[in-house]
Amino acid sequence: MKRIYYLILTLYRILKYLLSDTKRYANILFFVLMYQPKKILEIGVYTGRRAKEMIDAAKVFNNKIEYFGFDLFEMMNKKILKEEMSKIPNSKKNIYSKLRKSAKIRLFKGYTDNTLPKLKNTKVDFIFIDGGHAVKTINSDWIKCQKFIKKNTIVVFDDYYLNDSRIIKKFGCNIVVNKISKKLFEKRLCKLTDSFYSNYNNKVLQYKMYYVRKK
């Protein structure tokens, strides 16, 4: 009965996203329904909304879900906000109380450069890379995530920019995903496109998510 509830809830959320101006999040829920992950890792927890939605979608298939969330939480400040073209997250405590009843939750506070190496002996089924947006940070997140990846692990990157060749040198996942080996990974640009006003280059930018699966 609970599984039907989670399925209806997730289909409703997908529909809501498809009708909204944040369409690309439908990709994430669609992939969770398709690949049925038990262990989910998210870089960039922010408000915990996506975490809750991914966990609920995963619970259509499995009762016991593990979620690993990485964020700066209370360590975010104005300087980092600008450097990472980021957002101000909720506190670690707030996120934990929001998610703790849904799944087995482990939260890691700090720069992913320091915190990703702290998670040891763990392979996961699904990774959402959506933390710092500087190319340097996304590249380091991708490299540090390699040890969590096994055959068929899905990795979704947010922030693949479409209509600007300048911003991708500093921000977004374009440079990182373009370097990923096609021999080792199936990879493609996701379908749905959103847009936002970028203060970096004072224009409306279009962006998508990028899908990678270990062969």
CB closer to ligand SAM, 111 vs 185: 111
- With binding defined as CB under 6 A, does residue 131 bind ligand SAM? yes
CA 36 to chain centre: 16
Instruction: Write out the two tokens for 103.
Output: 């799944």
Residue 92, phi then psi, degrees to nearest 5: -60, -40
- With binding defined as CB under 6 A, does residue 86 bind ligand SAM? yes
- With binding defined as CB under 6 A, does residue 71 bind ligand SAM? yes
Shortest Cβ distance from residue 64 to ligand SAM (Å)? Answer: 23
Binding mask 133-152 for ligand SAM (x = CB under 6 A): ----x---------------
Spatial neighbors of 88 by CB under 8 A, at least 6 apart, are 76, 81
Q: Looking only at residues 89 through 118 of this chain, which bind ligand SAM when binding is defined by CB under 6 A?
A: 89, 111-112
SS3 per residue for 75-138: HCCHHHHHHCCCCCCCCHHHHHHHHCCCCEEEEEECCHHHHHHHCCCCCCCEEEECCCCEHHHH
Q: Which residue has the tokens 């101006």?
A: 21
- With binding defined as CB under 6 A, does residue 37 bind ligand SAM? no
Shortest Cβ distance from residue 215 to ligand SAM (Å)? Answer: 26
- With binding defined as CB under 6 A, does residue 16 bind ligand SAM? no
Of residues 49, 93, 100, 169, which one binds ligand SAM by CB under 6 A?
A: 49
Please classify residue 50 by burial: count the beta carbons closer than 10 Å to its beta carbon, then call 0-12 exposed, 13-18 middle and 19+ buried. buried
- With binding defined as CB under 6 A, does residue 172 bind ligand SAM? no
Of residues 17, 46, 126, 142, which one binds ligand SAM by CB under 6 A?
A: 46
Separation of alpha carbons 52 and 103, rounded Å: 9
Give the binding site for ligand SAM (CB under 6 A).
42, 44-46, 49-50, 70-72, 76, 84, 86-87, 89, 111-112, 130-132, 137
